[in-house]
Amino acid sequence: MKRIHFTLFLLVIISISICGQNKPPYLTKQGTATQLIVNNDPFLILGGELGNSSASSAEDIERIFPKLQQMELNTVLVPAYWDLIEPVEGQYDFSLIDKVVSQARSNNLKVVFLWFGAWKNSMSCYAPLWFKKDNKKYLRAYTKAGKPLEIASSFSDHVCQADNRAFAELMKHIAVIDSQEHTVIMIQIENEIGMLEDARDYSREATALFNAPVPEKLIDYLNKNKKALHPWILEKWESQGFKTKGNWQEVFGDDLYTDEIFMAWSYAGYVEKLAQTARSIHNVPLFVNAAMNSRGRKPGEYPSAGPLAHLIDVWHCGAPNIDILAPDLYDKGFVDWVAQYKLPNNPLFIPEIRLSDNNGVQAFYVFGEHDAIGYCPFSIENGSDSPQAPTVQAYSKLKELMPLLTKYQGRGVMNGLHFDRENKERILTYDDLKITCRHYFTLPWDSRATDGSEWPESGGIILKLAKDEYLIAGSGIVIEFQKGGESELITAKDLGEDGFVNVGGKVQKQDSSWKGTTRAGIGTVDEVKVNKDGTFTYIRRLNGDQTHQGRHVRIPVDEFSVLHVRLYEYR
């Protein structure tokens, strides 16, 4: 049976190499953006990740996948469990993998498999029982106090060989079943890799390497890329005088963060071996995900040495075949976190984020502001599939927008907007135009703006199509246009929706500096549907009360819309 499987695998590979067709998904650059290409077209992942146990039975997969289609997803992130794939050493069962792929195809979904191999959230809980029981062969990590952990040691050759062997069989199987249709578009290697309890592994094997010289490969990389290094690693190295020889403490200092750098080098090297295996069998984009170093925690209190932003250079050097270091986001400070991972040498992909009603506006923001490859709330099957649910509305509109977003990514004509009560305004400048963007609740017309209600996150995308022509999409935003030097004669909060001054409102300000500067006017605002070729289908004209008599463009909270805006100039 195994010989037949391998023969089929060889036939598929030979057929592809001869025909030169059906190129697997890949990444390419467009301007400053990195794009995922699937079946020859740019593709944005409007995704969701399943809960950890939600793909462990065929029945659950059959039940969940139709709902995901109703939720307007185009991609689902699914665990591939080592313990269920290889329950007996050397014997492989891919029935769940086959079920995922078949259900994805039936429901018009793409798949990203997450290899739950030697580590999942630091722990080795998804390693098979035969692996766990033989801790003499498959070594454990140890704390400084000498306590063995439920964490396989990355310094054990036997651990890596067993993990890599099973991963190779998975990749071969995917190549056999999916080399033509390309349902599987990316692979994640391990899950939230990192050390807990201590910043590094204190096993005998690890300690020997910690006291050995820092590998020349890493030193050479730091020297070669000195001007482009992440500021954190540069400062850490500089604190020791940019030493190029010595053990880890001599080169980087004696603290927990040096332990973390050492451990990151080990994990990256381990992951690189699996990445090379994947490249040699079925070459699709590869990524690793990181649990955040948040809430003031130190290495070991969070999963130390994972693919975190401050360790990006260690990971790039140690695992050059990994395409993306991706953040898993469950803490406050969404805008700041995503900015850490959208770097010139790292495209933004969010494989996990807390499931909430704010997911839709967050997705708009990362696609507009950071040219994101994808966005995926965690435990997505527990979300609502109602057409009125915020994420369902958002994904539906983003599907419409995909032809335009992929066309303009990386070209400097698009921004994302994200607001809450604390961060309620952003000013953009295009040519000589000042664009003031605000949270919808900065207008007083919704009682929730002033009655003490919590402000929902709001956001969207603003795309410059041509001079005086913009596309605005999202939810809960209000946008005003002014020429540079033009003064605002009266603030929006002083006017009622009819444009008259509110009772008790401020007196209209007199502008003593007005010198006849050209002003920006809103010519037309049309709600539109975006067609597959990027053209527009007219839905309705918005004017009068819906534009505050031509003063602004707005999309209320609880609604997602796409607006085509044309401006004009007047004196």
Query: pLDDT (tens digit, 9 = 90+) per residue, 272-293?
Result: 999 999 999 999 999 999 999 9
Do 166 and 85 touch, CB atoms closer than 8 A?
yes
Query: Is residue 466 included in any domain, yes or no?
Result: yes
- Looking at the structure of the chain, the number of domains it has is 2
Please check whether residues 372 and 422 belong to one and the same domain: no
What would the 3-class secondary structure string for 97-129 be?
HHHHHHHHHHCCCEEEEEEEEEEECCECCCCCH
Q: What pLDDT sits at residue 341?
A: 97
pLDDT band at 83 (very low <50, low <70, confident <90, very high): very high
Q: What is the percent of the chain where pLDDT is above 70? A: 91
Tell me how far apart the alpha carbons of residues 160 and 149 are, in angstroms, rounded to a whole number: 17
Local structure of residue 80 (DSSP, 8 states): E
Angstrom distance (rounded) from CA 65 to CA 381: 8
Instruction: Report the mean per-residue pLDDT for the chain.
Output: 93
Whether 60 and 114 map to the same domain: the answer is yes
User: Are 432 and 333 in the same domain?
Assistant: no
Beta bridge partners of 419: 458
pTM: 0.93
Instruction: Indicate if 189 and 136 belong to the same structural domain.
Output: yes
What number is the average pLDDT over the span 99-121?
A: 98
Distance CA 237, CA 252 (A): 5
Distance (Å, rounded) from C-alpha 220 to C-alpha 217? 5
Q: What is the pLDDT of residues 42-58, one digit of tens each?
A: 999 999 999 999 999 99
Secondary structure (3-state) at 193: coil
CB-CB contact of 158 with 139 (8 Å): yes
Lowest mean pLDDT among 255-269, 447-461, 488-502: 488-502
For residue 77, pLDDT beyond 90 = yes
Which CATH number goes with the domain that contains 321?
3.20.20.80
Which token pair is 11?
């036939």
- Torsion, CA 126, CA 131, CA 134, CA 138, rounded to 10: -90
pLDDT of 498 reads: 60
Q: What are 517-533's pLDDT values in tens digits?
A: 789 999 999 999 999 99
Q: Which helix (H) or strand (E) holds 185?
A: strand 184-191
Please name the residues in contact with 449: beta carbons below 8 A apart, sequence gap of 6 or more: 440, 441, 442, 443, 455
Same domain, 364 and 435: no
329-339 confidence digits (pLDDT tens):
999 999 999 99
Q: Is 223 among the domain residues?
A: no
In a domain, 166, yes or no: yes
The token pair at 536 is 């527009």
Q: Which helix (H) or strand (E) covers residue 190, if one does?
A: strand 184-191
CA–CA distance, 477 with 459 (Å, rounded to integer): 6
**550 falls within a domain:** yes
Predicted pLDDT at 286: 98
Q: Which residues pair with 527 in a beta bridge?
A: 540, 563
- Region 212-218: what's the mean pLDDT? 98
Q: What's residue 16's pLDDT?
A: 45
> Would residue 251 count as lying in a domain?
no
Provide the pLDDT for residue 185. 98
Whether 11 is covered by a domain: the verdict is no
**Between vectors from CA 376 to CA 92 and to CA 379, what angle results, nearest 5°?**
65
Q: Which domain holds residue 294?
A: 22-201+260-400
CB contact at 8 A, 21 and 280 = no
Q: Report the pLDDT averaged over residues 167-173.
A: 98
Helix (H, G, I), strand (E, B) or coil at 554: strand
